[in-house]
């Protein structure tokens, strides 16, 4: 059986000491959390889904080697980064600036937005639901 799949866009690359740890996609943006294994640093790269060109990049100041980091889109109001080791949520704007950092207990493991106004956060104790305001803020 032949493979009918072909690449139509350029590949995304990292340096030899980096790898993509997590990725999420919206209609027009691809968010990549990239870990530099030598420097033990993580960054968020935002790329266009049309061209894969990098739109911006920001350091996440997450240095824990054994950390699990994930992200989810918050409507048109940015991205939410889940930092398991530091038990925090980092709200990054669509322009690549850190808007807010929130300590979250119990420790968050994963987050997903559904509907237009609901954020679900998976913790070690269950799933917590939060309402997202029209400006992208969510109530804890």
pLDDT tens by residue, 85-96: 899 999 999 999
Q: How far apart are CA 51 and CA 94, in angstroms?
A: 17
Sheet holding 108-114, edge to edge: 108-114, 118-123, 126-131
What pTM was computed for the model?
0.85
Residue 45 pLDDT exceeds 70: yes
Map out the domains of the chain with their CATH numbers.
18-131 (2.40.128.630)
């Amino acid at each position: 059986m032949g493979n009918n799949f072909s690449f139509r866009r350029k590949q995304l690359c990292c340096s030899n000491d980096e790898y993509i740890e997590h990725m999420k996609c919206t209609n027009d943006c691809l968010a990549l959390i990239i870990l530099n294994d030598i420097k033990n640093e993580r960054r968020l790269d935002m790329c266009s889904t049309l061209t894969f060109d990098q739109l911006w990049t920001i350091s996440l100041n997450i240095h824990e080697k054994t950390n699990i980091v994930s992200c989810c889109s918050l409507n048109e109001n940015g991205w939410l980064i889940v930092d398991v080791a530091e038990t925090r949520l980092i709200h990054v704007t669509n322009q690549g600036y850190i808007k807010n950092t929130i300590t979250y207990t119990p420790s968050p493991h994963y987050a997903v937005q559904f509907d237009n106004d609901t954020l679900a956060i998976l913790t070690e104790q269950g799933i917590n639901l939060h309402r997202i305001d029209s400006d992208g803020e969510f109530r804890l």
